[in-house]
Amino acid sequence: MCGIIGYCGHRPAVPLIVEGLHRLEYRGYDSSGVCFVQNGELKVVRAEGKLKLLEDKLARMEVSLATTGIGHTRWATHGAPTEDNAHPHRSSEGDLAIVHNGIFENYLECKRDLQDKGFSFSSQTDTEVLANLIADECRSAASLLEAFANALKKARGSYSVAMLSPREPNVVYAARHSCPLILGVGAGENFVASDIPAFLPYTREVVFLEDGEIARITPTSWEVFSLLDRAPLEKKTTRIEWDMQAAQKGGYKHFMLKEIFEQPQSISDCMSGRADFVNFSVNIAELEGMEKPARLRLIACGTSYHAGLWAQSLLEGLAGIPAVAEIASEFRYRNVPLEPGEVVLIISQSGETADTMAALRIAKEKGAKTIGICNVVGSSIAREADTVIFTQAGPEISVASTKAMAAQMTVLLLMALHWSKDEHPRREELRRILTGLADIPAALRDILPALQSEASKLAARFASCRGMFFLGRGQSYPLALEGALKVKELSYIHAEGYAAGEMKHGPIALIEPDFPSFVLLPNDGLYDKTRSNLEEVAARKGPIVALTCAGKSGPDIKGCETWLLPEAYGPLNSFLMLPALQLFSYEAAAFLGKDVDQPRNLAKSVTVE
């Protein structure tokens, strides 16, 4: 949930670290700091608030020429987002400093032991305890590496951590357990960071660290050791092909808007090599040789969960596989009996979500085959699942997930088609869906500007509401949940996604003239049922905006406005409705002047429980 970076090289470290932290801000941004060695002394500069405040502080200081350093941008887990709690944290004797992402679960018992040994603390963080734990190990270890390893073996929980000490001023040590950490291998310089954009302008050669590995970088070398016995490990470098532009805003006002408009490309990229639009066939190489699952359990959090819920009926209807979508943080604390032949699909854009990772590990412990559906190559879930299918949506920087969901839905639809091979009637259904799917990217590209313009008008009208409903049935129900989530997380307006058929069981009591309902009304078998729900809402003078398709003239209900979208076949309507919902929440947030890409209280990757 935080961003960390370390640098050893020939350039001034501080400006390069701060630049890298800017590219990691999406991982957390409530405080930040840097550490470097100056004239043999450890210097730590930290600031509460956005990274700009750290830059202002550094600008007022004597320029540092240090060429080794570490840095951190924080999303608070232990202790309020204050300067005292900001990273880097020094050991109380000041002979080392660390930056840390994750949760050190047994920090309190270690803190008590360390206090008994005379260590002092100036923060409420678990990280400072880890710094002193390493310092304590230094008292008996033969080397800094040994002390680092011994301390980490005592720490329980999740971490990616980087350490700097005046004892080895041109060396950064780093290690990971359950949190991402990647080496960047440059010419006369080396990096370690939570994510690749932090150092991508300087090198494309990366080494993905695994859990239980320690890295040691200097300006001219990089080594990886086993945490267990510090044995040197052979690791290969991987070349990153996507460019920095792809990770920048590309002319859009916000990453979120850029990523919404990237959806046509993301869907295309996700289909490439998997859907054959000439022979009307689907072939997912990652599933080759795998038996058709007897049962599927789709597990995820947030938006990714909504993608899983959306696919549930498709997997059942097209592939004849019983499927259930589960929220990871619920699944992990129930002792769920998994059936023989049951396959667990783990869906995660970042591939680092703690609850989802935990669910993956539980599923594996129970002997289930696991398939990860991830967007980040080298992410923890991608590497721990038995098989991984990448959504290939490109880097998603905005905290609000948009194009990743469209890509997840595409993968899941293709999986349903892949497994529908022996279902009947298959050929005709497969042809209709693939024909429609082939047209989706172009259709989306055509309508996105008009969707944004309509969304902007509606946002201006409804942004002052105290609350709103998003309603849908069948495959529109998960979209309703997603539409409500987007409004909540971006504009901070309370919004509730609800199954349209459930309104009469209580929620309709909320309906009044300033409580609008956005209703998803695709031209599907549930149109008339959902339309009758709207009659109930209209009868109570609740404003209604019905997102419907050109095939229908609209529900023709007094007080109900129609947001007309192009018609697509069956489940493909969702690919046109989803961006409409995303753009409404985007425009509402922009209208209200909210921080679109970094909404309050949120972070892009929730790597803590």
Q: Which residues are catalytic?
A: 2, 604
Report CA 195 to chain centroid distance, whole Å: 12
User: Which CB atom, from 197 or from 542, has the smaller least distance to ligand AGP?
Assistant: 197
8 A C-beta contact, residue 179 and residue 158: yes
Q: Which of 68, 150, 353, 452 binds ligand AGP (CB under 6 A)?
A: 353
User: Which CB atom, from 208 or from 222, has the smaller least distance to ligand AGP?
Assistant: 208
Q: Considering the complex, what minimum distance in angstroms separates the CB of residue 347 from ligand AGP?
A: 7
Q: Considering the complex, what minimum distance in angstroms separates the CB of residue 364 from ligand AGP?
A: 17
**In the stretch 547-586, what mask flags binding to ligand AGP with x, by CB under 6 A?**
----------------------------------------
User: Which CB atom, from 356 or from 574, has the smaller least distance to ligand AGP?
Assistant: 356
Using the rule CB under 6 A, give the single segment among 281-289, 350-358, 564-572, 582-590 that binds ligand AGP.
350-358
Q: Cα separation of 532 and 432, whole Å?
A: 29
* Rounded (5°) CA angle 553-557-562: 50
DSSP count for the chain of H helices, then E strands: 16, 26
Q: Which of 160, 304, 548, 574 binds ligand AGP (CB under 6 A)?
A: 304
User: Which CB atom, from 400 or from 499, has the smaller least distance to ligand AGP?
Assistant: 400
Query: Which residue's structure tokens are 């630049």?
Result: 19
- Binding flag, residue 301, ligand AGP (CB under 6 A): yes
User: Which CB atom, from 70 or from 484, has the smaller least distance to ligand AGP?
Assistant: 484
Exposed, middle or buried, 108 (CB in 10 Å: 0-12/13-18/19+)? Answer: exposed
8 A C-beta contact, residue 497 and residue 487: no
Q: Residues 309, 310, 312, 315: what is their CA dihedral angle, to the nearest 10 degrees?
A: -150
Residue nearest to ligand AGP (CB): 302
Which residue blocks in 169-272 are alpha helix, DSSP H?
255-261, 263-271
User: Which CB atom, from 301 or from 471, has the smaller least distance to ligand AGP?
Assistant: 301
Q: Considering the complex, what minimum distance in angstroms separates the CB of residue 446 from ligand AGP?
A: 25
- Binding flag, residue 350, ligand AGP (CB under 6 A): yes
Using the rule CB under 6 A, give the single segment among 18-26, 168-176, 278-286, 348-356 that binds ligand AGP.
348-356
> How many amino acids of this chain bind ligand AGP (CB under 6 A)?
15
Closest CA to 412 of 443, 382, 372, 370: 372
Q: Considering the complex, what minimum distance in angstroms separates the CB of residue 356 from ligand AGP?
A: 5
SS3 at position 363: helix
Three-state DSSP string of 318-329 = HHCCCEEEEEHH
- Binding flag, residue 348, ligand AGP (CB under 6 A): yes
SS3 at position 272: coil
523 to 447, 452, 497, 572, 608: CA distances (angstroms)? 18, 22, 20, 11, 41
- Binding flag, residue 326, ligand AGP (CB under 6 A): no
- Binding flag, residue 379, ligand AGP (CB under 6 A): no
Q: Considering the complex, what minimum distance in angstroms separates the CB of residue 489 from ligand AGP?
A: 6
8 A C-beta contact, residue 45 and residue 61: yes
SS3 at position 423: coil
- Binding flag, residue 165, ligand AGP (CB under 6 A): no
Using the rule CB under 6 A, give the single segment among 105-113, 120-128, 301-309, 506-514 that binds ligand AGP.
301-309
Residue 586 carries which side chain, given as an amino acid letter?
A: Y
Reported as type and span, the H/E element at residue 65 is none
- Binding flag, residue 452, ligand AGP (CB under 6 A): no
Which two three-digit tokens encode residue 468? 């709103």
Q: Considering the complex, what minimum distance in angstroms separates the CB of residue 435 from ligand AGP?
A: 30
**In the stretch 587-606, what mask flags binding to ligand AGP with x, by CB under 6 A?**
------------------xx
| Strands of the 190-193 sheet, one edge to the other | 41-48, 31-38, 68-74, 3-8, 190-193, 182-185, 205-208, 238-239
- Binding flag, residue 130, ligand AGP (CB under 6 A): no
- Stretch 396-415 residues interacting with ligand AGP (CB under 6 A): 399-401
User: Which CB atom, from 348 or from 573, has the smaller least distance to ligand AGP?
Assistant: 348
Q: Which of 266, 349, 585, 598 binds ligand AGP (CB under 6 A)?
A: 349
Q: Considering the complex, what minimum distance in angstroms separates the CB of residue 402 from ligand AGP?
A: 7
Q: Which of 302, 372, 570, 571 binds ligand AGP (CB under 6 A)?
A: 302
606 to 14, 21, 248, 344: CA distances (angstroms)? 27, 18, 22, 21
Using the rule CB under 6 A, give the single segment among 80-88, 175-183, 213-221, 343-351 that binds ligand AGP.
343-351
Using the rule CB under 6 A, give the single segment among 200-208, 264-272, 296-304, 534-542 that binds ligand AGP.
296-304
Q: What single string gives the DSSP state of each residue in 546-590?
A: EEEETTS-----TTEEEEEE---SGGGHHHHHHHHHHHHHHHHHH
Phi, psi of 3, deg, nearest 5: -115, 130
Q: Considering the complex, what minimum distance in angstroms separates the CB of residue 40 from ligand AGP?
A: 42
Q: Considering the complex, what minimum distance in angstroms separates the CB of residue 494 from ligand AGP?
A: 16
Q: Considering the complex, what minimum distance in angstroms separates the CB of residue 297 from ligand AGP?
A: 16
Q: Considering the complex, what minimum distance in angstroms separates the CB of residue 415 from ligand AGP?
A: 17
Closest CA to 585 of 256, 350, 248, 255: 256
Q: Cα separation of 248 and 263, whole Å?
A: 16
SS3 at position 196: helix
**In the stretch 465-504, what mask flags binding to ligand AGP with x, by CB under 6 A?**
------------------------x---------------
- Binding flag, residue 356, ligand AGP (CB under 6 A): yes
Using the rule CB under 6 A, give the single segment among 110-118, 140-148, 159-167, 346-354 that binds ligand AGP.
346-354
Q: Cα separation of 477 and 423, whole Å?
A: 26
8 A C-beta contact, residue 473 and residue 498: no
Judged by the rule CB under 6 A, the positions of this chain that interact with ligand AGP are 301-304, 348-350, 353, 356, 399-401, 489, 605-606
